[in-house]
């Protein structure tokens, strides 16, 4: 089965991650969870409670990674899924992950980014000249790096499929799967 990398770290958002984790194998893709190290990671739940101006974060499930970023051979993978949550705030400094991310853009393989995942795409230098979406508070991560922020549930620009939050999982995964299947 073709393999798809899912990028996580501590404080990765549960629904951003677990939906593709289970959905991709339903369409014949093997999921490989990648993180800074091969170990158990702590995910979080994000919700904006009524009356709040910011997102509330609570503890979520745990997920083990299969491979450390430094050990990834990106040519072995059909696609890259960059999950959201707060994890991308620190993952975007990992040079091995940025190199892997660039590979997918350089080879025009499908890349999916949800919520804060766009921070990694931007840090890798892969957003300039592209249209993308993200959670509104991360729009600056698109525009500051030369991209065009579009406030829609799902935006497809070439090999990049982006979504605002887990609320957009259905159209987001539909478009990502289309690109993955075209590449087979």
Q: At 20, which CATH number?
A: 3.40.50.880
> Each residue of 89-128: pLDDT tens digit?
999 999 999 999 999 999 999 999 999 999 999 999 999 9
How many Cα atoms are found within 13 Å in the side-chain-facing hemisphere of 139?
Answer: 7
What's the number of domains the chain is made of? 1
| Mean local confidence (pLDDT), 54-69 | 91
Among the listed residues 42, 46, 116, 167, the single catalytic one is 116
Dump pLDDT digits (tens) for 22-52: 999 999 999 999 999 999 999 998 888 899 8
Q: How confident is the model at residue 58 (pLDDT cuts 50, 70, 90)?
A: confident
Asked if 116 is an active-site residue, the reply is: yes
- The count of other CB atoms within 10 Å of the CB of residue 34 is 26
pLDDT of residue 116: 97
Q: Give the 3-state secondary structure of residue 27.
A: coil
- CB atoms under 10 Å from CB of 175, counted, come to 18
Instruction: Give the structural domain span for 81.
Output: 3-182
Residue-by-residue DSSP string for 74-90: GGG-SEEEE--BSTHHH
Q: Given phi > 0 = left and psi -120 to 50 = alpha, else beta, which region is 173?
A: alpha
Q: 56: phi > 0 → left, psi -120 to 50 → alpha, else beta; which?
A: beta
Q: What is the pLDDT of residue 176?
A: 98
Whole-number percent of the chain with pLDDT over 70: 99
Query: How far is 159 from 64, CA to CA, in rounded Å?
Result: 27
Q: What is the mean pLDDT of residues 11-21?
A: 97
Length of the chain (residues): 184
Average pLDDT, the chain: 96
For residue 184, pLDDT over 80 is answered with: no
């Amino acid at each position: 089965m073709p393999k798809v990398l899912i990028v996580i770290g501590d404080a990765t958002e549960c629904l951003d991650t677990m939906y593709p984790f289970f959905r991709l194998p339903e369409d014949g893709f093997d999921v490989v969870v990648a993180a800074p190290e091969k170990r158990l990671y702590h995910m979080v739940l994000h919700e904006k409670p009524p009356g709040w101006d910011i997102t509330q974060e609570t503890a979520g499930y745990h997920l083990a990674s299969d491979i450390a970023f430094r050990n990834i051979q990106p040519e072995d993978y059909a696609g890259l899924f960059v999950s959201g949550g707060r994890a991308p705030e620190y993952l975007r400094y990992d040079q091995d992950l940025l190199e892997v991310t660039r590979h997918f853009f350089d080879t025009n393989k499908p890349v999916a980014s949800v919520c804060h995942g766009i921070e990694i795409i931007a840090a890798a230098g892969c957003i300039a000249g592209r249209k993308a979406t993200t959670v509104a508070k991360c729009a600056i991560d698109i525009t500051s790096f030369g991209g065009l922020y579009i406030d829609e549930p799902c935006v497809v620009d070439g090999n990049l499929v982006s979504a605002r939050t887990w609320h957009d999982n259905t159209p987001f995964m539909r478009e990502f799967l289309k690109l993955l299947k075209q590449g087979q």
